[in-house]
Amino acid sequence: MAEKTLILVKPDAFARNLTGEILARFERKGLTIEALKLVHTPRETAETHYAEHAERPFFGELVDFITSGPLVAAILSGNDAIKASRQLIGATNPLEAATGSIRGDFATLVGENMVHGSDSPESAEREIGIWFPEL
């Protein structure tokens, strides 16, 4: 089923010059870049994006991290793009993410885990509206 998902190449991955490597993995899987931009994320945008975690103890650190430097936001499309992307990204904790996944290959910290991918069609629609309000 063709669908869209919202991907963030988080500030840790961008700072490590891994943006191209990460986008290439999505493209090789068969996903298509529909929109792409570099963002200096306002605090309010990060808080809105991660609103479901507002009551969690790590929320402040999560927002600090997402706003700590530029990130790359993308809309990807393709067959089951949401599930396919999350498979490529790997488990939330990089130490539990499979080798071969982005988090499994490149990260060790749950708080600096390289990439975000929408977790449902409803999330994807909401997040595309947050990061690409002009579309």
Residues that bind ligand RTP (CB under 6 A): 53, 58, 62, 92, 110-111, 113, 116-117, 119
Pair 79, 4: CB distance under 8 Å: no
**Burial of 135 by CB count in 10 Å (0-12 exposed, 13-18 middle, 19+ buried)?**
exposed
Q: How far is the CB of 53 from ligand RTP (least distance, A)?
A: 6
Give the amino acid at 127: E
Q: Is 58 annotated as a binding residue?
A: yes
Q: How far is the CB of 25 from ligand RTP (least distance, A)?
A: 15
Q: Is 103 annotated as a binding residue?
A: yes
Q: Identify the three-state secondary structure at position 24.
A: helix
Q: Is 83 annotated as a binding residue?
A: no
Alpha-carbon separation of residue 67 from 41, 71, 129 (angstroms): 5, 8, 18
d(CA 68, CA 105): 22
Q: How far is the CB of 6 from ligand RTP (least distance, A)?
A: 10
Annotated catalytic residue 116: yes
- Considering beta carbons, is residue 11 or 117 the nearer one to ligand RTP? 117
Annotated binding-site residues for ATP read 10, 58, 86, 92, 103, 113
Annotated binding-site residues read 10, 58, 86, 92, 103, 113
